[in-house]
């Protein structure tokens, strides 16, 4: 049971470069989410998706793009990375129903230099 996997685990990139973080889940969960976690801010929702080809903005979407062409994949792209996007990024999935919790991937630690 692979669950939800993120890649890469660690990434260092330069300001202005495009970078894509991958997320794959094997549960066929309808909902998928991208969060970032920074000291002093807790978990903040970037984007979420209710199903394939349906995505919507969360609390902090600026500078990010998502797509969901297949139910199991939900990549997050930083179109032109900035230092403020240095963070730990978590992907999560859920059934999206009452009492269905989020299940998280093990995170991607991104550093933008």
Partner 1 sequence: RKEVEQDPGPFNVPEGATVAFNCTYSNSASQSFFWYRQDCRKEPKLLMSVYSSGNEDGRFTAQLNRASQYISLLIRDSKLSDSATYLCVVSRGFKTIFGAGTRLFVKA
Residues of the shown chain interacting with partner 1 in the complex, contacts defined by CB under 8 A: 31, 33, 41-43, 48, 50, 88, 90, 94, 96-107, 109
Q: What is the DSSP letter of 14?
A: -
CB of 16 to partner 1, least distance (A): 26
Q: Which is nearer to partner 1, 18 or 37 (CB)?
A: 37
Separation CA 87–CA 108 (nearest Å): 8
Q: How far is the CB of 93 from partner 1 (least distance, A)?
A: 11
**Measured between alpha carbons, how far is 98 from 58 in angstroms, rounded to an integer?**
19
Q: Which is nearer to partner 1, 33 or 64 (CB)?
A: 33
**Closer of 27 and 104 to partner 1 (Cβ):** 104
Tell me the closest approach of the beta carbon of residue 10 to partner 1, in angstroms. 11
DSSP structure class, residue 75: -
User: How far is the C-alpha of 66 from the C-alpha of 33, rounded, in Å?
Assistant: 10
Whether 88 contacts 34, CB under 8 Å:
no
Q: Rank residues 83 and 109 by Cβ distance to partner 1 and give the closer one.
A: 109
Bridge partners for 11 per DSSP: 110
């Amino acid at each position: 049971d692979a669950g939800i996997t993120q890649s890469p685990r660690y990434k260092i990139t330069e300001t202005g470069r495009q970078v894509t973080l991958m997320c794959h889940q094997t549960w066929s969960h309808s909902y998928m989410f991208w969060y970032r976690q920074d000291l002093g801010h807790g978990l903040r929702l970037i984007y979420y998706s209710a199903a394939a080809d349906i995505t919507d903005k969360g609390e902090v979407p600026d500078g990010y793009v998502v797509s969901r062409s297949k139910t199991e994949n939900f990549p997050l792209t930083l179109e032109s990375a900035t230092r403020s996007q240095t963070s730990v990024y978590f992907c999560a999935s859920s059934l999206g129903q009452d009492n269905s919790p989020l299940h998280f991937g093990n995170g991607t630690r991104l550093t933008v230099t």
